[in-house]
Amino acid sequence: MKRHITLPSASIPVAREVDVLVIGGGASGIAAAIAAAKGGAQTMLVEQRGFLGGMGTVALVPAFCPFTDKRKPIIRGLGLQLMERMKQACEPEYREEYQETLDWVPIDPEVLKRVYDDAILESGVMPLYHTFVYDVVLSEDRRTVEGVVVVNKTGRSFIACRYIIDCSGDGDIAALAGVPFQKGGKAGELQPGSMCYLLANVDRPKFKRFLEESGDTGQLHKTVEQAIADGALPEGRKSISGLAWISDCLVGVNFGHVFGVDGTLAEDLTRGAIEGRRTAERQLQFFRRYVPGFEHAHMAASGEQLGIRETRRIEGDYILTVEDFLAARSFPDDIARNAYYIDIHLANSKSEMTFNHLPPGVSHGVPYRIMLPVGIDNLWVAGRCVSSDRAVQGSLRVMPNCFSMGQASGTAAALALRDGAGSRGISVAELQRRLLEQDVWLGEDCIPAEQQKEGSAP
């Protein structure tokens, strides 16, 4: 049994009063904050690191997942604009190679950090970095969040808000507010984390020749299997998740897993970071020994933390299911489309990965209701912890989808502010029209909700 102490009551300063408070500066938080600010709301974005980008910068996830359904871009709006802006800020050789690419675009993390800084400042968002949320303060009826207590080098303070958007990735604000949630599979198992990293001093042309001559794939399936058989790599995933070439001598790597890490526990994140760095060093030796072009590879950087795929899934007004995914369903309150495949990584080194793909050109709707946590009237949740079953979470969790959900939540918050309404009191049809005006794609036959006949969609 844990020992407890009682802290003395304290009076803390109100540091800021804002219209919309966004917690978490990953893809969903960036898009939510920009959309809210552009909609006329005084908006603050709180991030625990000293930069934005979430898994793409903190964890060095090496590439953006697809923005297309293999035929056309379906993730548009702010997410696509920000990725294109990163491309334009990269070196000429990078721009030339990836100018027309929309899927698996390599991330240059330092460029992306600056792009995100500039984008939020231009939109009028007030950023507050190096800051953790300590607690939430609820109204007497516990139906609204009145603000959050934050902790940083300045001390403890309170940020008051009229509306709040949880883009923490883990549903931290929703959980603190008492929203029910699920975590992991039936036995509590979670997808593993990955320690991603950047390798410098590599030779891409030599590597390409090796692939051609050996007949191995870009994921090095045969080479990895041989290294496992030789004992040079541990049992586990038998291919590399991704090599994202920023230049001919610099590549981002997503390879292998660290098991049993709950991203909501500091102790697990600590153990995962240490184990992840050890794993990355072993993988570096594998590259040097087994992969031509990597003989002199140097690890330029590893992620500040593991890339986390799965923690909480909040309970919302609707739970998006695998049946919805497989049937490619649309909904009257769609605020985005998704075509990324269901991608559930193995929970341990002996288990199997799960994949389910939609046919090219096919996508399903993402309803507004999955961002509305039950019981709270001024809170949206956007990102990988929205209301879905575990299978669909394995699809929704990637950065392009997080951009889409973030943009929709921020736009909705600005509408709610204008109308003095709660998150459920806005016009969904007007939200859809606003999103369409912002170049969001809601399907070829999208009709705003108020124009749809009752019963026309599941």
Q: What is the pLDDT of residues 328-364, one digit of tens each?
A: 999 999 999 999 999 888 766 555 557 789 999 999 9
For residue 66 the two structure tokens come to 């697809």
Domain 14-184+311-451 homologous superfamily, CATH: FAD/NAD(P)-binding domain (3.50.50.60)
Q: Which of 242, 165, 180 is nearest to 416 (CA)?
A: 165
Whether the pLDDT of residue 454 is over 90: the answer is no
> At 46, is the secondary structure helix, strand, or coil?
strand
When pLDDT is cut at 50, 70 and 90, the band that residue 456 belongs to is very low
CB 381 within 8 A of CB 316: yes
pLDDT of residue 350: 55
**Rounded CA separation 417/412 (Å):** 9
**Rounded CA separation 281/285 (Å):** 6
**Rounded CA separation 422/36 (Å):** 15
| C-alpha dist (Å) from residue 404 to 81, 128, 164, 337, 400 | 12, 23, 17, 8, 7
All residues at 6 or more sequence positions from 207 whose CB lies less than 8 Å from its CB, including other chains:
291, 292, 293, 294
pLDDT of residue 177: 98
How many other C-beta atoms lie within 10 A of the C-beta of residue 321?
14
φ/ψ of residue 287, rounded to 5: -60, -45
When pLDDT is cut at 50, 70 and 90, the band that residue 100 belongs to is very high
Q: What is the pTM of this model?
A: 0.95
Whether the pLDDT of residue 457 is over 50: the answer is no
**Rounded CA separation 107/62 (Å):** 5
pLDDT of residue 347: 66
Helix (H) or strand (E) segment spanning residue 387 = none
CB 285 within 8 A of CB 318: no
Token pair 């978490």: residue: 24
pLDDT of residue 344: 85
When pLDDT is cut at 50, 70 and 90, the band that residue 455 belongs to is very low
CB 69 within 8 A of CB 358: yes
Taking only the tens place, the pLDDT of each residue in 30-41 is 999 999 999 999
Taking only the tens place, the pLDDT of each residue in 234-272 is 987 788 988 999 999 999 999 989 999 999 999 999 999
**Rounded CA separation 224/240 (Å):** 8
Token pair 């933390």: residue: 305
